[in-house]
Amino acid sequence: MMAFSKKAPAAPHLTHVSPTAAMPGAEIEVHGERLGSHAAADIGGRPAVVTLARPTRMGLRVPEGLLFGDVVVQANGAQSNRLPLAVATPLTENLHPVANPAIDAAGNIFSTVSGARGTQTPVPIFKIDSTGRARPFVRELLNPTGLAFGPDGYLYVSSRAEGTVYRVSPEGVVYTYAEGLGIASGLAFGPDGCLYVGDRSGTIFKIGRYLEGDDTIADRETFVFATLEPSVAAYHLAFSSTGTLYVTAPTTSSNQVVHAIDRNGTATIFFQGLGRPQGLAFDREDNLYIAASLGGERGIVRITPGGEASLVLAGSNLVGLAFHPDGRTILATRDALYAVVL
């Protein structure tokens, strides 16, 4: 009589991870075959909590403290193939960013301890150097909100409590640059060299181009560039390579828009369908990245120039981001900075 051996169960097979990057503690989905309801998973060699188990997909929570994130699933006594997951790693804690961090030409990162409105913090702006060390940069500035580097290499800072924009030298010396700007929040320099400022009550101001020592353009004339609806948080601004100004203004709606404002100050809707969109930035291909919710999932949303949106990083409490010259994306949460390669 011929003996039959029992066939070993087929190993699970993974096809893709969604999204492909995550903050520690965030939830991701793994898609594939033969995953099963009793499957287990590791991310970066550490057990991951399974939040959803189906034959073709699993929900996983990213463990804290990871430096890398290959995803592996075990089911039916067999192990799957590996799929990479980019995991954000902490840079600096004990901060209070309320908008994008700013990065200078040397790659130094600047972020805020903004504090409650009207409350002075001991060190409102920190500088994080290439070693990851955070050092006090400015000590006397009330409620710093938006940060942006100008063509002159100085850091420009808005104060939402004072309605003022300050100009800060590379040595940390603070000068008043413009006043009377309402609840000043988001900042962005346009291709014309002018500074654009978002007022939370609904106005985008434009401040005339200024270069120290050049009397022909030193007047810093301020006027209303565009008007939008008020925001419950802060305006966030970014320019595309074509010179169009993109603006988010968080409200309580879960179907919010990204505004596009042309050179004449005419505003149109570029995209609608985000939850509480905040800080935004463009990559070299003019894809727009926003800290927001999409389809109920919070993280970093990428919107192509054609208006196609997808979640590229899962994570909560994100308020902004900036692209570092070394290829990393610097993420700002409500109390810390993280780095990830998207």
Per residue in 278-304, pLDDT (tens digit) is: 999 999 999 999 999 999 999 999 999
Domain 90-340 of CATH type 2.130.10.10: yes
Phi, psi of 95 (to 5 degrees): -110, 180
CA R_g for the chain: 23
CB atoms inside a 10 Å sphere around CB 316: 14
Contacts of 253 (CB under 8 A, 6+ apart): 275
Class of domain 14-87: mainly beta
- Do 233 and 278 contact (CB within 8 A), yes or no? yes
Phi, psi of 311 (to 5 degrees): -85, 120
Per residue in 290-340, pLDDT (tens digit) is: 999 999 999 999 999 999 999 999 999 999 999 999 999 999 999 999 999
Query: Does this chain's domain 14-87 share its CATH topology with 90-340?
Result: no
Residue 262 to residue 92: CA distance in whole angstroms: 36
Per residue in 204-253, pLDDT (tens digit) is: 999 987 555 544 445 578 999 999 988 777 789 999 999 999 999 887 77
Domain boundaries, the chain: 14-87, 90-340
Average pLDDT on 52-59 reads: 93
Residue 56 to residue 334: CA distance in whole angstroms: 35
Average pLDDT on 193-202 reads: 92
